[in-house]
Amino acid sequence: MPRAFTPKVVTANALIEGDVIYLTSQDSWTREMCDAELMTDEAHAQLRLLEASQQVDVVVGAYLADATASDKGPQPTHFREEFRRTGPSNYFHGKQAVASQDGSTL
Amino acid sequence: MYQYNDFDTAFLAQRNKQFRAQVERRIAGNLTEDEFKPLRLMNGLYLQLHAYMLRVAIPYGTLNSAQMDTLALLAEKWDKGYGHFTTRQNIQYNWPKLSDVPDMLDALAKVGMHAIQTSGNTIRNVTADHFAGAAADELEDPRPVAELIRQWSTDHPEFQFMGRKFKIAVGAAQKDRAVLKAHDLAVRIVQNDAGEIGYEILVGGGLGRTPMIGKVINEFVAREDLLAYIEAVVSVWNQIGRRDNKYKARIKITVHEHGLDDIRARVAERFAQIRPTFTGADQKLFADIKAHFAAPDFRKAPTVEFETAYNANPLFRSWVDTNLSGHRAEGYAIVTVSIKKHGETPGDATAEQMRTLAELARKYGHDELRISHEQNVILPHVHKSDLTAVYTALREAELHTANIGLVSDIIACPGMDYCALATARSIPVAQQIATRFDELKLEHDIGHLQIKISGCINACGHHHVGHIGILGLDRAGVENYQITLGGDATETAAIGERAGPGFAYDEIVPAIERLVNGYLELREGPQETFLESYRRLGLAPFKAYLYPEAQANAA
C-alpha cells in the first residue's frame, strides 16, 4: 500500500541569494515558512511543485517538504527543515538574523 | 612559490569571462538550472542549505600573504566576514550571492587563485604535506610535483566528465601528513637503492561510504614517467570505472572489483601506449616549476631571546611545545596556528585573522603560508628569534590556542549547519567536545588524540581515520552519532572500527568524555597515546566505558 500523503509545503532556494524560500497560496514566494501554503492534497501539491519549478529565473531546486499545521502557520517536521528555516547553529546568521525584517515576500 | 605566467593569467581571465557570461545568462533566464549547474560546479560554486557556497582552491595548501589578504577581502566584501578552511586544503565561503561570484573570481585571479575543479567529476585540487619545503624529514619539496600535476590536470580534456571525482595527494616525507592512503591516487616521493629519486604510486584509497586504504600499484616510477603513469591510471579507471552507480564509481571500487593485479596490468598497457606522446615538454616544465620553489634565503640569528622567553613564560612554552614542529633549517621552526580555539568552529577564520596571518607571513615567515587538511594554518618558515613576536601577534588575534594534535584539535566538516548532503550536524559537536575538555583542563594530560567528525557518510570530516571518529546520521528523523575507534590517518593508516550503537545529539559529548576517561585509566602511562592503547587492548575495554549500561545489564 502506498504511504499516506503527509502535508507539504513547496520550498526552494532563491536564484540570486540562494536562501530558503517557500511558495505561498498567492503564488508569491516568502522567506518564512509560517507564511507558506500548506498542502494536504497530493495532486494539488504535485501541481504546485510543477508550477514552482517552472519559475527558473526565480528559484532553484524546488521540492516538497513535510510540514505540519499550527496556529502560527506551517511548521517543519524534520530537523533538516528546521535548520533550513532558521540558519546555522554556530553563528547567528541566515534566517534567524534577518527574521521578518523585510516583510518577507520576493 | 609558483607564480602564474602569461599563459596561466590569460587562461584564467578567459575562464572567468566565460563564467561571468554564464551567470548573466542564468540570471536572465536563458539557462535553466539543469543547464547551469554543471557550469557552476566546474567553477566551484555549490548551492547549500542556506545559500550558495564558493569553494576556492588552495593548491597543495600553499599560499602567500597577498593571496591570504585576498581571501580576507572576499570574506569581508562578499561574505559574512569569515571563511572556512577545509580538509582538502581549500577555503569555502558560505554566503555569496550568485551575482557577486564573478567579481569574487576576478579578485582571486588578481593573485593567481581560482575555484576551477573544486567540484564536479574531475581531478580535484591536488593536496600535499602541509609541511612541504620545511619538514626535517622530507626527501625533497613535494610541491613542484603537485604543481606539475595541477597544471596537467587543469582543464585536461580527457578528464572533465569522468564517472566520479578523482583526488590526488603528494608527499615526500617519512611521516605521512597528507593522508596519502585515503586518496584515489597518491604520489610518494622515494629514493631507490641506486640513489635515484622516483615515485611510489598508491591507488584506490578513499573514505566515504566504502572506506579503503590505498594500495601500492607501482613501487618506483621514474621521474620522467610520472605524468604518463598517472594519466594511464586515470585513463584506465575512466574507461572501466562504473558509471551505473555513483556509489561504486570511485577508483577504490574499480580496484576492489578488478583486483590490483588486473588494474596494474591495464595501467602498464595504457602507459606503454601513451608514454611516447610525452616528448619531454613536461620535464622542461617541471624544471621551470622547480625553480619557483627554491628554498627561501634562511637567515642565521641568535636564539637566546627565544630560549629566555621559553623558560620564563609558561603559556609561551606550552604553545611552543604543542604547536611547533622541527624545521630542516637550523634556527627555524614550523609554526602551526590553531584555527580551533575552544568553542569556535574548526577551520573558520575571520577576515581580520586572515590579515594577521598574512602580515605575520610577510614579516616573519618568508611570505609563505600553508593550510593543513587538519584545518589549521601553518607558518612554515619562522626563525626562532621571531617566535615571541609571532606569539604576541597571534594572541592579539585569538589565534594562539596551544592544542595542535590534542583532543580539541578536531576536524569537522560543515555538516548540516551548511551542507545540503549532511544528515546531521558536526560543528556543534566539535565545539562542545572542545569546550568540555577545556573545562576539564585535561587535554595536555590526554596527549595526542585526533577526533574527526563527519556529518554524513561521505566522510569529508575523515571520521574513518580519526583515533576517535564520529559520524552523524539521521536515524528516524533524529540526529544520531556513531563512534569508530582506532582509525589512523598517517603512514600506518587504518580504518576505525565501529564501537556499537549510536548516540543521540545530547549523549555524544558525555560518551566521548567517558571514552577518554577510560583511556586515561587503561593506558600504561602518559607516554602511551590513545591509539597505542587501543592497538594494545582492542575495542572491548573501550566499549565498556562507552556503554556502561550494557555492561551492567550483562553482569
Q: Is there a contact between B417 and A20 if contact means CB atoms under 8 Å apart?
A: no
- Residue B549's pLDDT is 84
Mean pLDDT of A93-101: 80
- Residue A101's pLDDT is 58
B486 part of a folded domain: yes
Mean pLDDT of B392-414: 98
Please report, rounded to a whole number, the percentage of residues in chain B having pLDDT higher than 90: 98
Q: Is there a contact between A83 and B417 if contact means CB atoms under 8 Å apart?
A: yes
B551 pLDDT exceeds 80? Answer: no
- pLDDT 10s digits, B322-378: 999 999 999 999 999 999 999 999 999 999 999 999 999 999 999 999 999 999 999
Q: Measured between CA atoms, how close is A83 to chain B, in angstroms?
A: 7
Annotate B126-186 with DSSP letters as a single string: -EE-TTTTTBTTBSS-SHHHHHHHHHHHTT-GGGSS-SS-B-EEEE-BSS--S-GGGSSEE
Q: Are residues B358 and B273 in the same domain?
A: no
B516 pLDDT exceeds 60? Answer: yes
- Residue B142's pLDDT is 98
Q: Are residues B194 and B254 in the same domain?
A: yes
Among the three residues B87, B109, B131, which one is the final residue of a domain in this structure? B109
B95 vs A contacts (CB less than 8 Å) = 93
Q: Are residues B423 and B531 in the same domain?
A: yes
B124 part of a folded domain: no
Q: Are residues B156 and B276 in the same domain?
A: yes
| DSSP state at residue B205 | -
Confidence of residue B514 (pLDDT cuts 50, 70, 90): very high
B123 part of a folded domain: no
Distance of CA B339 to the CA centre of its chain: 14
Q: Are residues B238 and B155 in the same domain?
A: yes
Confidence of residue A103 (pLDDT cuts 50, 70, 90): very low
Q: How far, in Å, CA of B37 to CA of B53, rounded?
A: 13
- Residue B316's pLDDT is 98
**Do the Cβ atoms of B342 and B408 come closer than 8 Å?**
yes
Q: Is there a contact between B51 and A17 if contact means CB atoms under 8 Å apart?
A: yes
B131 part of a folded domain: no
Distance of CA B416 to the CA centre of its chain: 20
Mean pLDDT of B29-54: 96
Q: How far, in Å, CA of B66 to CA of B3, rounded?
A: 12
Confidence of residue B555 (pLDDT cuts 50, 70, 90): low
Confidence of residue B530 (pLDDT cuts 50, 70, 90): very high
B136 part of a folded domain: no
Q: How far, in Å, CA of B207 to CA of B214, rounded?
A: 10
CATH number at residue B507: 3.30.413.10
Q: Are residues B475 and B550 in the same domain?
A: yes
Q: Are residues B434 and B545 in the same domain?
A: yes
**Three-class secondary structure assignment of chain A:** CCCCCCCEEEEEEECCCCCEEEECCCCCEECCHHHCCCECCHHHHHHHHHHHHCCCCCEEEEEEEEEECCCCCCEECCHHHHHHHHCCCCCCCCHHHHCCCCCCEC
Q: Are residues B91 and B196 in the same domain?
A: no
Q: Are residues B447 and B424 in the same domain?
A: yes
**Do the Cβ atoms of B267 and B251 come closer than 8 Å?**
no
Q: Is there a contact between B417 and A18 if contact means CB atoms under 8 Å apart?
A: no
Q: How many domains is chain B partitioned into structurally?
A: 4
Q: Measured between CA atoms, how close is A84 to chain B, in angstroms?
A: 6
Pick the closest to residue B471 from B435, B431, B507, B498 (CA basis). B498
Among the three residues B109, B133, B152, which one is the final residue of a domain in this structure? B109
- pLDDT 10s digits, B74-114: 999 999 999 999 999 999 999 999 999 999 999 999 999 99
B121 part of a folded domain: no
B286 part of a folded domain: yes
For B446, phi then psi, to 5°, come to -65, -40
Phi/psi-derived region of residue A90, left when phi > 0, alpha when psi is between -120 and 50, beta in every other case: alpha
Q: Are residues B504 and B429 in the same domain?
A: yes
Q: What is the span of the domain harbouring residue B310?
A: 304-396
Q: Are residues B191 and B284 in the same domain?
A: yes
Write the CB contacts of B244 (distance below 8 Å, at least 6 apart in sequence): none
Query: At B552, which amino acid appears?
Result: A
Pick the closest to residue B327 from B361, B292, B296 (CA basis). B296
- Residue A3's pLDDT is 79
Annotate B426-437 with DSSP letters as a single string: -HHHHHHHHHHH
CATH number at residue B392: 3.90.480.20
Among the three residues B292, B320, B337, which one is the final residue of a domain in this structure? B292
How does the average pLDDT of chain B come out, rounded? 97
Mean pLDDT of B235-262: 97
A100 pLDDT exceeds 60? Answer: no
* Interface size between A and B, measured as CB pairs under 8 A: 74
Strands B45-47 and B82-85: unpaired
Question: In chain B, whose CA is at the least distance from the CA of A66?
Answer: B477
**Residue B11 parent element (H or E):** helix B6-27
Residue in the block written with cell 521540492: A63
Q: Are residues B325 and B446 in the same domain?
A: no
B129 part of a folded domain: no
- Residue A1's pLDDT is 62
Pick the closest to residue B293 from B381, B187, B371 (CA basis). B381
For B83, phi then psi, to 5°, come to -140, 160
